[in-house]
Amino acid sequence: MALTLAACSSEAPSVPQPVAATPSSTAVAKPPAPVIPAPPATSSAPVVPWQVGARPLPLGSGGFGKIEPTPPELVNRALPTKDVLPPPADGKYHATVSAVPADVLARSTWQPGCPVKPTALRYLTMSFRGFDGRTHTGEMLVNAQGAAGITEVFGQLFAARFPLEEMRVTSPAELTAPPTGDGNSTSAFVCRPARGQTSWSAHAYGLAVDVNPFCNPYTQGDLVLPELASAYLARSNRRPGMVLAGDATVRAFAAIGWSWGGAWTSPKDRMHFTATGH
């Protein structure tokens, strides 16, 4: 999931004194233009505190990455959003629902062996607020049965100023890439089995949405996913982007009949909302 920051010289430039005219002068010399120091070379380039996906983790058990302490840069995560689609010009919430375009399907995880046909999926675009305080446009593939409801949910999250870091279609490369444990993309359709099982996940039907995974990690025993998100297990330390019992996010999904994995005992899937109960 997609998670920023020059100094100008405080010393004013010296101002040269004008040259006084004399009776024998035929012209007045112009003073040289004041020299204005150039800004530092780094002043136009924002400093990004963390490059998502840049550092693969050593492999641990179950094919996941080794669980490591949360880096200081991510303890209070507020990374800027990289725009995939043009942001809304008016800064307001907008949503579209359409059949899945061929080019979007081609860059998604769908393949002929998936348990849902492309015609049963819908391509959504929805406005969202980033941790950077700006308005962005995200994209999502969901089951046609839940498409309208999902746009209503994210409209409510937009109104509540609930931040999302990323919202984009998951690519096939992400399923086989080495784990980095720092993803934070809000997404729905992913054609994969349920974690630790051979049966299809509700995501493979487009009937589940994961919201800010890093801020709302999955846990089962000692397993934490994403693997660097342990700082977000302290749920009493409320930070932007977290989903908590009874909050606006849980209520918005419940209003369309979707349940929350954060209410489960084991595993506890805090990022996960589902129409199937799984």
Q: Tell how strand 135-143 and strand 268-269 pair up.
A: unpaired
Token pair for 221: 């025993």
Closest CA to 187 of 151, 139, 219, 146: 139
For residue range 214-254, list pLDDT tens digits in order. 999 999 999 999 999 999 999 999 999 999 999 999 999 99
- The reported pLDDT for the residue numbered 42 is 41
pLDDT of residue 49: 80
Integer Cα distance of 215 and 184 in angstroms: 7
Q: Give strand ranges (E) for 117-252.
A: 121-129, 135-143, 166-167, 185-186, 208-210, 218-220, 223-225
d(CA 273, CA 257) in angstroms, rounded, equals: 10
Helix (H) or strand (E) holding 152: helix 147-159
pLDDT band, residue 28 (cuts 50/70/90):
very low
Q: Is the pLDDT of residue 34 over 50?
A: no
Contact (CB, 8 A) for 168 and 188? no
Amino acid 79 reads L
Each residue's pLDDT tens digit, 131-188: 999 999 999 999 999 999 999 999 999 999 999 999 999 999 999 999 999 999 999 9
Q: In the structure, what pLDDT confidence band is assigned to residue 92 with cuts at 50, 70 and 90?
A: very high
Do the bridges between strand 95-98 and strand 268-269 make them parallel or antiparallel, or are there none, so unpaired? unpaired
Rounded percentage of the chain residues whose pLDDT exceeds 70: 82
